[in-house]
Amino acid sequence: MFGLMVSGILIFLYTNLPDNVVNAITATQPRIVQNLPDVWTWSNSSSGMYSVKDAYNWLLNPAPLNDHVNWKWIWQLNLPANIQFFVWQLIHESIPVRAVLQHRRVCNTDVCPRCAGASENIDHCLFSCPDAARVWNLTGLVFNRNSSQGADTFTWYKNMGKIHGSLFFIALWVIWCGRNEIVFNSHRENTHTSMGKIYSLLKSCEAAFMPPQSVAATPVNPRLVSWSPPMEGTVCLNADGSLIGATSSAGYGGLIRDHNGVFISGFYGAANVRSILFVELMAVLHGLHICWDSGFRRVTCYPDSLQSVNLIRDGVSAHHRAISPFKVCSVH
């Protein structure tokens, strides 16, 4: 009876409490002493009186209510402090999505501002809203958020970080920023723009947080390089593709310049494939499409993959797994 009464009150709190905390509170059996006035007591000292020293000791040795004592892993992530804080806030289920704001009486609706098709709780906002789902799809990360419903949010996010690394948290951050762009600037970001931001941030983080010894261990052989302009009337296409570690997340891009080196056009994209050769070919293919559609018929193409150049030039078996982009590249 007491538990039911308390759980009825807890839902009106300003902050949504995690299920394990609500369960611990409702399971508490109060000791009722008849004929005495109610008084405040501090259960973590023998005297029942509150002192700062007792509170400090309590914080150092949290009770089971706060059994995730080690939040340090968040502050040790190779991410900028604003994203670390976002992750901390997210695991505390307090990022200001509409459902949280409505619960706090800050706004009067919880309808998702992006799809208008569901309540914008944290899971919807960052995972199941169609805008968010499209981004996850392109990252190539595979996980089942639904399986964690009701489970331990702290552990789930921590494990995701272990499995997928910074990419997972950066994707969450970019999805959140994209959501805010709609809410505050009425601007819906293209999914490919979001992917560009994700990979750009990932690269920046890798560069910024790479251990100094790795930098020192990298052999540096300086050499002079220069760009050879194509013949007049010919455009130059530089194309490149890359894979992110062992995941199936890949990206490609390139640029097109005239014979004076003046920028004409650029492109980039993401692909959910595991083959670096395939991504390199996608870069070439995409660049050639743009050249063709722009009316350029004389194109000098510089992919950075010797293998793809050789295979395009010399031809491949009709059974090659990347035969379709080869065919188109060869025709061009």
What DSSP string runs through 270-331? EEE-S-HHHHHHHHHHHHHHHHHHTT---EEEEES-HHHHHHHHH---TT-TTHHHHHHHHH
Min CB(169)–Zn ion separation in Å: 21
Q: Estimate the crossing angle of helix 323-331 against helix 276-293, to 10 degrees.
A: 30
Q: How many CB atoms lie within 10 A of CB 303?
A: 22
In angstroms, give the least distance from the CB of 112 to Zn ion: 3
**77 within 8 A of 169, measured Cβ to Cβ:** yes
**C-beta separation of 2 from 29 below 8 A:** yes
Query: Closer to Zn ion at the Cβ: 114 or 197?
Result: 114
Question: Could you tell me which of 328, 246, 223 has the C-alpha nearest to residue 284?
Answer: 328
Min separation Cβ 170 and Zn ion, Å? 21
CB of 124 to Zn ion, least distance (A): 6
Nearer to Zn ion (CB atom), residue 121 or residue 153: 121
Residues lying near Zn ion in the complex (CB under 5 A): 112, 114-115, 129
Within 10 angstroms of residue 173's Cβ, the number of other Cβ atoms is 23
Q: Which is nearer to Zn ion, 112 or 282 (CB)?
A: 112
Task: Report in angstroms how near the CB of residue 160 gets to Zn ion at its nearest.
Answer: 21
Cβ atoms within 10 Å of 152's Cβ, excluding its own: 15
Residue (128 or 247) nearer to Zn ion, CB = 128
- C-alpha atoms less than 13 angstroms from C-alpha of 194 in its C-beta half-sphere: 28
Give the three-state DSSP class for 71: coil
**Rounded to the nearest whole angstrom, what is the least distance from the CB of residue 202 to Zn ion in the complex?**
25
Is residue 292 within 8 Å of 235, Cβ to Cβ? no
The least distance separating Zn ion from the CB of residue 225, rounded to whole angstroms, comes to 47
Give whichever of 129 and 250 is closer to Zn ion, judged by the CB atom.
129
Smallest gap from Cβ 288 to Zn ion, in A, equals 37
Cβ contact 129:115 at 8 Å: yes
The smaller minimum CB distance to Zn ion, of residues 117 and 266, is found at 117
Number of H helices, E strands in the chain: 15, 4
Host H or E run for residue 100? helix 98-103
